[in-house]
Every structure is written in structure tokens, then in C-alpha cells.
Copies of this chain bind each other. A is one copy, B any other.
Amino acid sequence: MLMTDMKKEELEALLESTKKEYDGYKALGLALNMARGKPAADQLSLTKDMLDAVSSSSDCKAADGTDCRNYGVLDGIKETKKIFCDMLGVNDEELIVGGNSSLNLMYDTIARNYIFGVDKESTPWKDQGKLKWLCPAPGYDRHFAITERFGFELVTIPMKADGPDMDMIEKLVSEDESIKGIWCVPMYANPTGITYSDEVVKRFAALKPKAKDFRIFWDNAYCVHHLTDTPDKLLNILDECKAAGNEDMVYIFASTSKVSFAGAGVAVMAASKNNTDYVKYHMTIQTIGFDKINQLRHAKYFKDYEGVKAHMKKHAAIIAPKFEAVIKALDENIKPLGIGSYNTPRGGYFISFDTLDGCAKRVVSLCKEAGVVMTGAGATFPYGRDPKDSNIRIAPTLPPIAELEQAMKVFICAVKIASAEKLLG
């Protein structure tokens, strides 16, 4: 029976029994975490042999003879670049290998454009007055945090089943020169799990922004992070941009943070040659080069893109059951009551859950009181403010499955309590 159809007495009875169950969990002194998209220990162990791929018996030479232990090679060794080129569908001169963090590459790209402009001719963003940034939401809090820190006004763009609201984006960017960019997680989006449709990608590529220095930040963080044997497919945004005569409009980012090691992977950015040339023009002032031994370690271990794809199946084998456990718990306990909607992602790291309006903060707070840490309610929206107070990001990968099931019992109680409280007014 839907909770919205319940009479007052029925709601009160449900609230009371749920509170009793909740108090029981509270008494257990739980310390569970579904807050961040962190790989579990057994996922990290999948690549333990990578740590032997470069050892005391290695000559540490790249295929072209470069001694990876010494200075040099700003944009990465060829064999590591090749893996990412194949992954992202770009060529060698369109790709730059960075350090361990794609977020850092994104931050630096914002900073570079802010200080120096998007190319040698453009006015730096810092000198163009108050600027705006488009933020499809729910989205990734750390994206929003970067552009907020740089003083952009964050404009929320609703997320739909096939991507952000393109009608709104097309209208805004064609009219408003102060809009300089947009954050996108185009595949298995954080947190909604959807992959942008071909139409959405083509409409992105064909944008006619009023601002010539408008840039799409295409964070393809989950491009190989499938949970099923029938992966989603994403169009190649750079190809589409080229076809539309917009090849300088997009920066693509990716990393092995959730492929090899979350703290010690390899991050990359890809873009048109114009853009990568410009990035390198500034990057060569910023650093002598990134960690090539770690690049070599990755190349020797994975060998090629096929090796990465094969490896990702091992991740899926570990985390797909966790996603299933969450979905099962929601299907059995939330769906019949009609007090929440959620996606069933085919990849990525998150399940996006929407409570009845106005309940998300209360749910997260109830979870916390019972020892279950969730991502803060609102975190998936610009400025941390969810206008409907309904979205909660569930990150199921880190806890062992038994803990996850326990945490979901607490979460379900919390949703039921918050919903009943709301409906009772």
C-alpha cells in the first residue's frame, strides 16, 4: 500500500513500529559508511600485482628508451598514452597524462583559463566580470566546489533520463556571454547513473555559445566502469565537436582512480590539438613532468586498453552484487510504499535516491544518529542546496556486503520515518 494512501492511524502505526526497529539498530552502535565513492579493499587488491610491474629488476625504460626515473616527457610516455587514447578515442597529440588526480587536472584547467584565458588570444575569465557556470544537478559536489571557489555563479540545470536539459542549455549559452562552461559526467553520471544519449552528445557538440570561450568539461570518470555485460555506449564528444566545427569547445577527463588505485592512479585530459598545445604551453611552466614510473607501472600491468576492459570485469564482479543488494532492499521496502524513487545504474559508483520532497535532510540525519554516514543531503546540488530537499546519493562500493545490507536497513527505516513524519504533517 502506498504510504500516501494511508490513513492517519495507519501512518502512526507504521511510524511507531519503524521507530522501534530504528532504535534497535541505533542500540547496535553501528559505524557504517555509504558516503563516498571509494573502492573497497578487495577492489584495490585486484591490482596488487601492478606494484610488481616495476621493481628493482626493471630497467624503468619506456618503449622509446626514456628512463622513467629521470626528468622529462611533459605529456606522458607513449605506451600509457596509447591506453588512454584507445579508451577515449583520441590520438596521441590530443592527450596529456597528468598526475594521480583528474580533479586536479580539472581544477588546473579552470585556473589556467581564469588566469590566462582559454587560448593566447582570449581575455582571461578573471577579467570578464561576474561569470556563470552550468551545473547539471544532481551532480558531483567536487565539480561544483571548484567553480564556486573561483567565484562563478552556479546555474542549476535539471538532469533528465538521457542527460541534462538540452533545451535549457542551448537557450542559456546562446544568449548569455557570461556563461563560460558546464560540468558533465556523461557516462554513468554521478549520481544519477545515466549515460548521455547520442542526441544529447550531438546537441552538446553543436552548441552555439555566445561566449567564444565557453568550454564543456566532460568528466568521463566512469567510461570503463560497467556493471553489466551490455555496457552503455557513449558517443565520442571530440569527434562530434569536430564534425560540428566546435573542436576546441570540449575538455575530456578520465583516470584510473577506480581502475587501479584510488590514491595512486593515473589521470589524463584530452582535447583538440589547439587545446592540448595551449595546456602544454602553460604546463611546462608549472612542472617538469609527472610521475612516469607510475605511468610505466600502469602500462606494463594493463598492456593495452583490452587489458583495462578485462580488468574492469573483475571490479564489476565485486561491486555489482552491492548495487543489487541496495536495489533489492529498495524494491522490497520502499517501492511498495511509494516514498522514494531511484535509478538502477548499469555502471558507475552511485545510486541516486529521491525522497518525498523535504525529507532528504531528515533521512541523512536519522542515518547519522544510527551510525550510518551518507553523503550530506544537498551535496549533489550547487551550493549544497537541493531546492526540493529530496536527493540522496548512495555510494554502495566501500562497505562489505553484510555491512551494506545492515546500513540499508537503517536507511530504509530513516526514509520511512521521515516520510511518515512529513505525511502526518
Contacts and interface: CB of A to CB of B under 8 A. Distances in A.
A3 interface: no
A262 B104 contact: no
Interface in A115-148: 115, 126, 142, 145-146
A178 interface: no
Given A262-B71, A263-B72, A294-B264, A288 B103 contact: yes
Interface stretch (A85-93, A244-252, A279-287, A328-336): A279-287
A289 interface: yes
A149 B289 contact: no
A263 to B, nearest CB: 5
A60 B288 CA distance: 28
A181 interface: no
A209 interface: no
B99 A100 contact: yes
A261 interface: yes
Contacts of A282: 149
Interface in A23-71: 36, 38-39, 41, 44, 48-49, 51-52, 54-56, 58, 60, 67-71
Given A115-B115, A282-B149, A285-B146, A69 B291 contact: no
Given A51-B56, A111-B111, A263 B291 contact: yes
B285 A145 contact: yes
B70 A262 contact: yes
Contacts of A69: 44, 261-264
Nearest to A40: B70
Interface residues of A, number: 53
Given A68-B263, A103-B286, A291-B264, A48 B44 contact: no
A257 B114 CA distance: 30
A381 to B, nearest CB: 17
A305 interface: no
Q: Which of A54, A73, A115, A146 has the most chain B CB atoms closer than 10 A to its own CB?
A: A115
Given A103-B286, A262-B69, A52 B48 contact: no
Nearest to A105: B287
A51 B55 contact: yes
Nearest to A116: B149
A297 to B, nearest CB: 9
Contacts of A71: 36, 38, 257, 262-263
A44 B56 contact: no
B285 A263 contact: no
Given A51-B55, A70-B38, A294-B294, A107 B262 contact: no
A58 B100 CA distance: 20
Nearest to A282: B149
A287 B103 contact: yes
Contacts of A101: 287-290
Interface string A74-116: 0000000000000000000000000111011001100100110
Q: Which 8 A-B pairs have the closest CB atoms?
A: A264-B293, A44-B69, A104-B287, A107-B286, A69-B261, A48-B56, A100-B291, A264-B291
16 contacts: A38-B71, A44-B69, A51-B54, A51-B58, A51-B60, A69-B261, A69-B262, A70-B261, A99-B100, A101-B288, A101-B290, A103-B288, A108-B286, A114-B115, A146-B285, A263-B291
Given A71-B262, A111-B115, A149-B282, 18 more contacts: A39-B70, A41-B70, A44-B60, A51-B55, A51-B58, A69-B261, A72-B263, A73-B263, A99-B99, A99-B291, A101-B290, A103-B287, A126-B126, A142-B285, A264-B291, A264-B292, A264-B294, A291-B294
